[in-house]
Amino acid sequence: MGKIGTSANYQHLGYEAVTLSANTAKALGIDIGDRQFIHMSGRKGIYVGADYVLDHLKAKAKEEVRTRNPEFSDEELNSVAEEIAISAIRYNMVKQDLDKIITFDITESMSLEGDTGPYLQYAYARSQRILEKAGVEAPSTARFELLSHEAEIALIKEIAKLDLVVEDAAKSLSPKALARYSYNLATVFSLFYEKVPVIKEPDREKMLARLALVRAFGIALRNALSLLGVTALDKM
């Protein structure tokens, strides 16, 4: 059975409100029979320490990162994999309602699609790749009046919400609000990425304006992730 740590530590971390999905329990070596999930319980000795889960997630992340970045050194590989693993756990916890039971699923938490930490990190990495491939430095000011596509307007509006969301999250003591914003921001950027050419835009002034928008998105998402304790990665 994947039982790590002491019951006292488990209780202290507040895991009484956490359940494991059937797939996660199986991956961690916990036999739960035909049940769809299992409640972790310090009193019953059913729990998994964070370090144990982190090591498992890091191993999965390392495989994926190695496939996409064969040029990475072992040091880079380990560093990126660890940050992805940490984001998977941390984001999965902070995006939840504090008064509800959390169901943790290893596969879902590591997905590059959907409301996950790695998805947000991937969106940020994609923006940095655009800036890198542009061959010119993204300006801090540009002819923003050229940005009229609905996907551009939507991204501008979403970026502008950051200060208000942070203020609301602080007042309500609800990190979920900031997590939801980060996911919405990344989703709007993904739509922008699909609908609007940046580097291949033939109009140089419009291309520079779009580069500035990508830069602004990266700054906003990086700041939001930092507040959530998630590291924005340039490559992953």
Instruction: Write the CATH number for 146.
Output: 1.10.730.10
Proportion of the chain above pLDDT 90, given as a percent: 66
Q: Which of 62, 77, 109 is the last residue of a domain?
A: 109
The confidence score (pLDDT) of residue 141 equals 86
Query: 128 and 57, same structural domain?
Result: no
Most confident of 10-19, 55-64, 177-186: 177-186
Distance CA 130, CA 17 (A): 41
Confidence of residue 140 (pLDDT cuts 50, 70, 90): confident
The confidence score (pLDDT) of residue 178 equals 97
Copy the structure tokens of residue 154: 């939507």
Asked whether residue 233 is domain-assigned, the answer is: no
How many structural domains is the chain composed of?
A: 2
Asked whether residue 182 is domain-assigned, the answer is: yes
Answer whether residue 193 shows pLDDT above 90: yes
Confidence of residue 164 (pLDDT cuts 50, 70, 90): very high
> What are the phi and psi torsion angles at 41 (to 5°)?
-140, 120
Confidence of residue 171 (pLDDT cuts 50, 70, 90): very high
* CA 188 distance to own-chain centroid: 15
Which candidate, 134, 151, 235, places its Cα nearest to that of 187?
151
Query: 50 and 19, same structural domain?
Result: yes
Range of the domain at 36: 7-109
* CA 236 distance to own-chain centroid: 12
pLDDT in tens, 93-130: 899 877 676 777 788 888 899 999 999 999 999 999 99
The confidence score (pLDDT) of residue 25 equals 64
Confidence of residue 197 (pLDDT cuts 50, 70, 90): very high
